[in-house]
Chain A
Amino acid sequence: MRKPPPYAADALGIGLATGVYGISFGVLAVGAGLSVAQACAMSLLVFTGGSQFAAVSVVAVGGSMATAVVNGLLLGVRNTAYGLSIATLLRGGLGRRMLASHLVIDESTAMARAQEEPGEARGAFWLTGFAVFVLWNLGTLGGALAGSGLDPGTFGLDAMFPAAFLALLAPQLRQRDAPTVALVGALIAVVLVPLTPAGVPVLAASLALLVAVRRR
């Protein structure tokens, strides 16, 4: 039998962790008013956790659909950076590149970049992407089924959103300028909450990126 590649155990471990994370997404999605089918469709078709949590958090507080979509898409912009950074690994036919694009997320990109050889990087990308895809979707289904009928306030589900966003933000703070950008973004949002319609504070927080542009 062929020896499994060195990254196989890591890929599976990341997949399992993401599956557990998928459970919390499923619970929150149905708590916000999505049907079980919608929660599952989101994990299958959107397949990028930050965007899914952001869109659902807008729905949970009764925000508009447009705000939910725009907030979700803005959080997905970092996947563009990931796709650009590993594009040379993902060459191939049209169908192959279309499928690879769907799997461009935090975990698969990080695993690909952690390998030294291009062949291993390619293998780590696909294996991690598939492991996360399968387990994220299974987790979502389980969470959505378990969460149906829970009252969000009584079970503290509303407090799960900021906790989830904090857990997503923490690893990104290691980038240069990231702590300053985060602080300025939070300040912009908190000032605008009483002054603007729902959704605007989060969108306007993007202006904090100007801090990083100026400080090249």
Chain B
Amino acid sequence: MSWAALLLLAGGSWLLKAVGPMLLGEREPSPGVARLLALVAVPLLAALIVVQTFGDDDRLVLDARVPALAVAGVCVWRRAPFLVTVLAAAATAAGLRALA
């Protein structure tokens, strides 16, 4: 990753956070706007999950990442800590690849 891209992301991230504290003062956003802003991450995260699980350049593939995601799903459902969830997924994929 280039430093320029990293600094651009850093500056932009701060600006996004700062809109309320720097500009808003006493006013509150309308409930409809606040609700939509709070939902913005939801479709992106869902898309990242499927792209990172099934994507291989411009193809869709089924490999060790699929059972790894299933294991992660069980971890999240059982309210496992974050690190346990990602390590269980990594161990599943690594284990299956070692066997293959």
Determine if B19 is an interface residue (Cβ-Cβ < 8 Å): yes
**Pair A193/B89 contact, Cβ less than 8 Å:** no
Q: How many A-B residue pairs have CB under 8 A?
A: 321
B80 to chain A, nearest CB (A): 9
Assess the B20–A158 pair: CB atoms within 8 A: no
Whether A24 lies near B69 (C-beta < 8 A) is no
Residues of B within 8 A of A21 (CB): 82-83
CA distance A100 to B17 in the complex (A): 9
Q: Quick check: B20 and A87 within 8 Å, CB to CB?
A: yes
Which residues of the other chain, B, contact A90 by a CB distance below 8 angstroms?
20-21
* 11 interchain pairs, CB-CB under 8 A: A72-B13, A75-B44, A76-B17, A80-B37, A81-B38, A156-B90, A156-B97, A163-B90, A170-B76, A202-B51, A212-B39
Number of interface residues of A (CB under 8 A): 104
Query: Could you give, for residues 1-18 of chain B, a 1 whenever the CB lies within 8 Å of some chain A CB and a 0 otherwise?
Result: 111111111101110111
Q: Give Cα A170 to B82, complex, Å.
A: 11
Contacts of A98 in B (CB 8 A): 18, 22
Chain A residues within 8 Å of B, Cβ to Cβ: 17, 20-21, 23-24, 32-34, 38, 41-42, 45-48, 50-51, 54-57, 59, 61, 65-66, 68-69, 71-88, 90-91, 97-98, 100-102, 104-105, 153-170, 172-173, 175-178, 181-186, 188-190, 193-198, 201-202, 204-209, 212-213, 216
| With A83-B19, A84-B24, A184-B43: A213-B36 Cβ-Cβ less than 8 Å | yes
| Chain A residues near B17 (CB-CB < 8 A) | 48, 76, 79-80, 82-83, 101-102, 104-105
Given known contacts A20-B81, A185-B47, A68 and B5 CB-to-CB distance under 8 angstroms = yes
